[in-house]
Amino acid sequence: MKTLPQPSDRAFVPFVSVANMMRLVHTIGLERMLLELADYIEEDFRRWRLFDKTPRVAAHSAQGVIELMPTSDGTQYAFKYVNGHPTNTKSGLQTVTAFGLLADVSTGYPTLLTEMTLLTAIRTAATSAMVARHLAPEGARCMAMIGNGAQSEFQSLAMKAVLGIDTVRLYDIDRGATEKAAHNLAGHGLKVVQCATPEQAMEGAQIITTCTADKQFATILSDNMVGAGVHINAIGGDCPGKTELAPAILHRAAIFVEYPPQTRVEGEIQQLDPDHPVTELWKVMTGEAAGRTSPGQITLFDSVGFAIEDFSALRYVRDRLDGTALYQQLDMLADPDDPRDLFGMLQRATP
C-alpha cells in the first residue's frame, strides 16, 4: 500500500485513472460512497461562506459546451474541466467527460489529479440525494426516473442509499435506454418498473427526477403531470437554452438552487423573471431558510451542478486514497535542487 506524497516529495502528484477510480468505487462500495459523499457535500454547503464562488467559465458551440469550474475554501483550491455534448452518443462517445485537480493554496502545488467522468456522475447523484434528504416528502419510497441515460442508475442508487427509496419507475423516449437502466439496476435491491409514458412513470412517485440530454428548450414535464406534494429533482436543464419543465410548474413550486448567478443563466429558472424568488440550498443546510414547509408543497431542486460539489468530491477521493495502491505518481512538476536554477536542471538532463 502507498502513502500519499508528503511535502518532501510533492513534485509527484497522485493521479487516479479511470481504471483506478472504478477500483476505488468497488473497494468502498458504490452505495456507501454515495452516502459518504453526500455527507461531504453537505459539510461543504454548511461552510458555503468560506468559498470563492463564480459561475463556471463556459465556451459554447452548436455541438455543446466546454467548461471550467473553479473554487477554493482558502486552504485548498479545485477546478474541474468538463464538457457537455448531447449528440456525442450518436458517435459512440460520452455526453459528458471530465477531469479535476485539487491543490494546496499555501504553495500552489497540486495534490490530486483525477478522472471526473465517473466521479461527476457519482457526485451529481450524491448531491441530488443530499438535497432530497431536506426537501423530499417524509417517507418517500418511490422515484420516477425520466431520462434513462448515463446518470439514471447513479441517481436511483443514491436515492436508495441516502433516502431509502425502494422503487424506481423508468421512462425514456428511447426504449433501449430504459431496458439498459433496468438491466443495470437488477439485483441492487430496488423494485424497477419500466414505463411506456412519463405519466405512467410518475404514478405513485413522491420524487420525480428529470435527466434528459437535448440541448434545447423542452417540456419533459407539463403542468398537468405534476401533482401536489412531490419533490422534483431537475438535473437535465444545465446550460443556456436547455430546460425540461413547463414554466407553470416553476410558478407552483418552491425553488431551491445552488448558486443563483449561475442557475439563472443555465437552469430551469432562466424561463422566469430575474427577480423570481428562489432559496439558496446552503441556507437550508444551515437552518437560515426553510426547506419543505408542508406535505402538499411542490419542491424543486433546479440543479445545474456547482464547483463546490466537485471540490467535495475531490476532497473525498483524496481522503480515501491514502494507504491504497489506487493511484499513480505523476512526475509533472519541475523540482530542481535549487529552485532558482531551472536551467541548470535542464542542462544536467542532457543525453
Q: Which residues are catalytic?
A: 238
Residue 300 and residue 303: Cα distance in Å, rounded?
9
To which residue does cell 439558496 refer?
Answer: 280
The stretches of 59-165 forming alpha helices (DSSP H) are 117-135, 152-163
Which among 150, 307, 301 is positioned nearest to 213, based on CA atoms?
Answer: 150
Residue 184 and residue 199: Cα distance in Å, rounded?
23
Phi and psi of 61, rounded to 5°? -140, 175
**Strands 57-60, 110-115: pairing kind:** unpaired
Please, what's the b/e burial string for 149-162 (b: 16 or more CB within 10 A of its CB; e: otherwise)?
bbbbbbbbbbbbbb
Which among 13, 18, 37, 15 is positioned nearest to 311, based on CA atoms?
Answer: 37
Which H or E run contains 169?
Answer: strand 167-171
- At 268, which amino acid appears? E
Specify burial of residue 5 (Cβ count, 10 A radius: 0-12, 13-18, 19+): middle
Name every residue whose Cβ is closer than 8 Å to that of residue 160 and which is 6 or more positions away in sequence.
31, 166, 188, 189, 190
Residue 181 and residue 149: Cα distance in Å, rounded?
8
Residue 159 and residue 204: Cα distance in Å, rounded?
16
Phi and psi of 218, rounded to 5°? -135, 160
Specify burial of residue 329 (Cβ count, 10 A radius: 0-12, 13-18, 19+): middle
